[in-house]
Amino acid sequence: MKEVVNTKTVLHVPKWKFTKQKTNFSVENLFILGAGMVVIFIILCALFPKWIAPYSPTFMDTSLILSPPNSAHWFGTDYFGRDVLSLVIYGSSDSLIIGIASVLIGGLIGGIIGSVSGYFGGIIDVVVMRLIEILMTIPGILLALAIAAALGPGLMNIVLAVAVSSIPGYARVMRGQLMSIKKRKYVEASRSIGTPEWRIFLWHLLPNSWSPLLVMATIGLGTSILIGSGLSFLGLGIIKEIPDWGALLSQGRGYLTVGWWISTFPGLAITLFVLSVNIIGDKLRDTFDPKTSRTR
């Protein structure tokens, strides 16, 4: 109870006081601001590559093959004389689709499996969790690889492969959350009022359980893009004339000694995006929790 009183005392401080919380602003908020800008910019690239990219991704300048970064080509050109910056910008859309779609599908399925398992418990939980554990014994990238290899290349198949490999993680987290939340007193209090079970599930259990899933999803977004890129890198990705980030990495691999920029910049783009999304995910979790959103 003492701790609670301590937090209570902090509550009355207004939420955002930039003048007073200088340290807070300069470090934490600057990061979030930067991350937000990066994410927005990359999403814009994915939506409107034509307006942002300086060149067409298919335009080959044969006079400028493998030229290092310069003022005309910021990221240099590849072995066909294509502009790497434009390729990265055009490639962003496929990478984002793989990341977001697979997280949504994996998170949704995993979340449902986990909540069913955690809510009902007993025999259902035992059976479902053993199945999930079987899935977990196979490393995620290997599972995705197997699925992609079985289904053949294609955007939808990659999404599916990445989604399936991420299901066990979401399911376990959601199950744990539900098991702990369903024992909380306010759930019983609601039951004692006479609230029907489905309402308890929707009103009390879900809203209090899903915030770790959200954080996991933001981290998962990065992982999914990486796995997707990995599959493309291995040649199991989308075969199109405009490669995604993973395929770009893979194509540049052979030229690493003569043209380091071909695979370095797509790699940096992946890293930057994943990092930014993670920072935002952390912030989101804090904001969604009424307790931390006030004390911050």
Which residues would be at the binding site for another protein (CB under 8 A)? Answer: 1-2, 4-13, 17, 20-21, 24, 122-123, 126, 184-186, 188-196, 199, 203-204, 207-208, 290-291, 294, 296
Mention every residue, 6+ apart, whose C-beta is less than 8 A from residue 209.
Answer: 115, 174, 177, 178, 181
Q: Which is nearer to another protein, 24 or 271 (CB)?
A: 24
Alpha helices by DSSP H, listed for the chain, are 2-11, 22-24, 30-47, 49-52, 84-120, 122-137, 140-151, 155-181, 185-193, 197-200, 206-209, 211-233, 245-253, 261-288, 290-295
Question: CB-based burial of residue 173 (10 Å sphere; 0-12 exposed, 13-18 middle, 19+ buried)?
Answer: buried
Q: Which is nearer to another protein, 20 or 50 (CB)?
A: 20
Q: Which is nearer to another protein, 137 or 185 (CB)?
A: 185
Q: At what angle do helices 140-151 and 211-233 cross, to 10 degrees?
A: 60
Tokens representing 138 are 């196979």
Q: Which is nearer to another protein, 29 or 195 (CB)?
A: 195
Minimum distance from residue 189 beta carbon to another protein (Å): 5
Minimum distance from residue 211 beta carbon to another protein (Å): 9
Minimum distance from residue 280 beta carbon to another protein (Å): 21
Decide if 259 contacts 78 (C-beta within 8 A): yes
Q: Which is nearer to another protein, 191 or 253 (CB)?
A: 191
Minimum distance from residue 138 beta carbon to another protein (Å): 24
Minimum distance from residue 209 beta carbon to another protein (Å): 11
Q: What is the DSSP string of 9-48?
A: HHHTS-S--TTT-HHHIIIIIHHHHHHHHHHHHHHHHHH-
Q: Which is nearer to another protein, 12 or 62 (CB)?
A: 12
Mention every residue, 6+ apart, whose C-beta is less than 8 A from residue 256.
Answer: 262, 263
